[in-house]
Amino acid sequence: MSEELSAWQLIASGDATLFAIVRLSLAVTLSAVAIAAVIGLPLGALLALARFPGRSAVVVVLNGFMGLPPVIVGLSVYLLLSRSGPLGEFGLLFTPAAMVIAQAVLVLPIIAALTRQTIEDLWHEYREELTAMDVGPLGQVATLLWDSRFSLFTALLAGFGRAAAEVGTVMIVGGNINGFTRTMTTTVALETSKGNLPLAVGLGLILIFLIILINAAAWGVRLWSEQRAG
Amino acid sequence: MMRAASSDLPLVLDRVSLSAGPVTMLDCLSLTITPGAPTLVVGPNGSGKTSLLRLCMGLAAPSAGSVSWGGRTDRGPARRAILFQKPVMLRRSATANVVYALGQAGCPRRLRAARAAELLERVGLLGLANHPARRLSGGEQQRLALARALARDPEILLLDEPTASLDPAATRFVEEIILMAAQSGTKVVMASHDLGQVRRLAGDVVFLVRGRLCAHAASGDFFEYPSTPKAAAFIRGDLVL
Ligand SMILES: Nc1ncnc2c1ncn2[C@@H]1O[C@H](COP(=O)(O)OP(=O)(O)O)[C@@H](O)[C@H]1O
Ligand SMILES: [Mg+2]
């Protein structure tokens, strides 16, 4: 097909617009995952080890939030950041920062919930041995995080995959502004509706490639960790 | 590693009971464990051996009665090590498992590698030092867990049927390591249901039936002059229920 052909030409020629979009998308998603990881990993670990009334409810809600519809997250962050919203004074709406925040909110439950599950499973296994060795609470958390680092890395990749592939949140809070907040997914959506198929298909191809790369990485990490740690 | 000034022995259980819901695991049991040759805890399956060890470790609190270590009841024994019936390997290499235990026991970082190699050699695992611990066979894992326990240089070493899943050669090997530890001053308290092993290792024998202390005697006396019909039946190899 001619669209596909010209899509490949676009990629091969190193088209500036195309790669600016790819670069922005990656920067936004990586930042979002980094922020979500910094909050989500300790939060998940804490939730795995802490015992308090209402804990089960928190776990259920957190698991439910893994499937939060992106447009709902987008809408919530929009309301938060809009001029009249509680964070309106910072003027973040329709900037890449807004997109980072929205994607971080989207990915946080995924990372926290997967971390909680992973750490809790390992804790059930390790509890008696660690207690017998008189390992304190901080040491316990450190040991659990370290010994499940490969699974946790996979959780981060899952978060990255979800954020990289979604359209709804970034469309709403980013505004899809040409050259400023246009990401791969929003561009694909827009250019398709405009009938500019080569750019849409080119970005689609790159997106698919990235997703496959992530899954290959997750698979490789798993294989490697099984050899290393059993 | 430093020897603490105060001792965790004698270990005294005073009319101790342990129950979980409607199940009574131990029933009004009094027992004193003193320094010396290994104390072997014997009894049929489900008689409460593991429960008794957990109390001795300070891992479980009695439902009634009290446990004291060297006269203290406020905390569990400081320098104790435990080999669980089904030890859990950390997701690390064999060496890293021992190094971890050394670190927890307060061994200075620079000494850990050499000390770990020493311990692995003692349990015959030096050749598998860099293998992932969870890939080792059951018997190898048991020995690695023993190395981890010895890494703590314990005053009290509690072992829960450490040779239950081992073949005779491996059993003999593990028994030698245990005897060596006992001879160097570690108090060994060990659950077993292998009477041959009890004869080989025990200084004194604690015999449990259904959560009750049925006999506690020096090893020779336990076998020569069983104090209860149940003990006599157990020694003959009859089924004790
Ligand atoms: N956490 C628990 N809750 C209820 N029952 C238990 C628990 N742990 C052990 N038991 C029961 O207590 C009895 C003694 O168990 P245990 O001490 O493991 O015996 P042994 O080690 O001699 O086989 C068994 O009948 C067992 O089923
Ligand atoms: Mg048992």
Strand partners, B42: B207
Q: Sign of the CA dihedral A132, A134, A137, A140?
A: negative
Phi, psi (degrees; rounded to nearest 5) at B93: -70, 165
| Residues A12, A107: Cα–Cα separation, whole Å | 32
pLDDT computed for residue B134 by the predictor: 92
Residue spans of beta strands (DSSP E) within A181-221 = none
Between CA B38 and CA B187 the distance in angstroms is: 6
Contact assessment for residue A119 and residue A148, using Cβ atoms and an 8 Å cutoff: yes
Q: Give the length of chain A.
A: 230
Q: In the prediction, which pLDDT does B3 show? A: 47
**Residue B70 lies inside a defined structural domain of this protein:** yes
pLDDT greater than 60 at residue B5? no
Q: From CA A11, how far away is CA A4, in angstroms rounded?
A: 11
Strands B80-83 and B23-33: unpaired
Q: How many CB pairs under 8 A join A and B?
A: 42
Distance from the alpha carbon of residue B152 to the mean position of ligand 1, in angstroms? 27
| Residue pLDDT, tens place only, A183-216 | 999 999 999 999 988 888 988 999 999 889 888 9
Give the amino acid at B43. G
pLDDT digits (tens, 9 = 90+) for B77-117: 888 899 999 999 999 999 999 999 999 999 999 999 999 99
Residue A60: per-residue pLDDT: 95
pTM metric for this prediction: 0.84
Interface predicted TM-score (ipTM) of this complex, two decimals: 0.88
**What's the total number of domains in chain B?**
1
Q: Provide the pLDDT for residue A230.
A: 65
Instruction: Name the domain count of chain A.
Output: 1
Identify the pLDDT of residue A223: 87
From residue B6, how far is each of A20, A181, B63, B72, B160 by CA, in Å?
Answer: 69, 68, 27, 10, 26
- Range list of H helices, A66-136: 70-81, 96-132
Looking at the partner chain, which of B84, B104, B133 has a beta carbon nearest the beta carbon of A230?
B133
Burial tier of A50 (Cβ tally within 10 Å: 0-12, 13-18, 19+): exposed
B22 occurs within a structural domain: yes
- Whether the per-residue pLDDT at A63 is higher than 90: the answer is yes
pLDDT of residue A100 exceeding 90, the answer is yes
Range of the domain at B50: 11-236
Nearest to B236 by CA among B217, B227, B223, B218: B223
Which chain A residues have a beta carbon less than 8 Å from that of B88? 125-126, 128-129
CATH number at residue A38: 1.10.3720.10
B3 in a structural domain: no
Q: How confident is the model at residue A3 (pLDDT cuts 50, 70, 90)?
A: low
- Which residue, judged by its Cα, is nearest atom 3 of ligand 1? B20
pLDDT mean over B187-215: 92
Q: Which residue has the tokens 């470790």?
A: B57
Which pLDDT value is given to residue B2? 45
User: B38 CB under 6 A from ligand 1?
Assistant: no
Q: Is residue A5 pLDDT above 70, yes or no?
A: no
Q: Give the pLDDT confidence of B126-161 residue by residue, as tens digits.
A: 999 999 999 999 889 999 999 999 999 999 999 999
Mean pLDDT, chain B, whole residue set? 90
Please give the structure tokens belonging to residue B77: 């024994």
Please list every residue in chain B whose beta carbon sits closer than 8 Å to the beta carbon of residue A229: 91-92, 132, 134
B240 pLDDT more than 90? no
| Residue A40 pLDDT exceeds 50 | yes
Instruction: Identify the bridge partners of residue B41 per DSSP, sorted by sequence position.
Output: B191, B206
Q: At residue B17, what is the residue type?
A: S
For B148, name the nearest residue in chain A, comparing CA atoms only.
A133
Among candidates A108, A107, A97, A111, which has minimal Cα distance to A165?
A107
Cross-strand partners of B16: B29
CA distance A165 to A17: 19
For chain A, the average pLDDT equals 90
Q: Is B216:B204 a contact under the CB 8 Å cutoff?
A: yes
CATH number at residue B29: 3.40.50.300
Q: Report pLDDT digits (tens) over B169-181.
A: 889 999 999 999 9
Nearest to B211 by CA among B28, B65, B68, B54: B28
pLDDT at A180 over 80: yes
Contacts of A147 in chain B (CB under 8 A): 90-92
Report whether B156 contacts B8 (CB < 8 A): yes
Q: Between A28 and B71, whose confidence is greater?
A: A28
In this prediction, residue B1 carries a pLDDT of 43
Domain that holds residue A108: 2-229
Q: What percent of chain A has pLDDT over 70?
A: 97
Residue B241 lies in a domain: no
Is B10 touching ligand 1 by the criterion CB < 6 Å?
no
Task: Give the C-alpha distances (Å, rounded to integers) separating B127 from B120, B121, B122, B123, B237.
Answer: 9, 8, 12, 11, 39
pLDDT value of residue B230: 87
* B198-220 average pLDDT score: 92
The lowest-confidence range among A12-16, A18-22, B4-8, B53-57 is B4-8
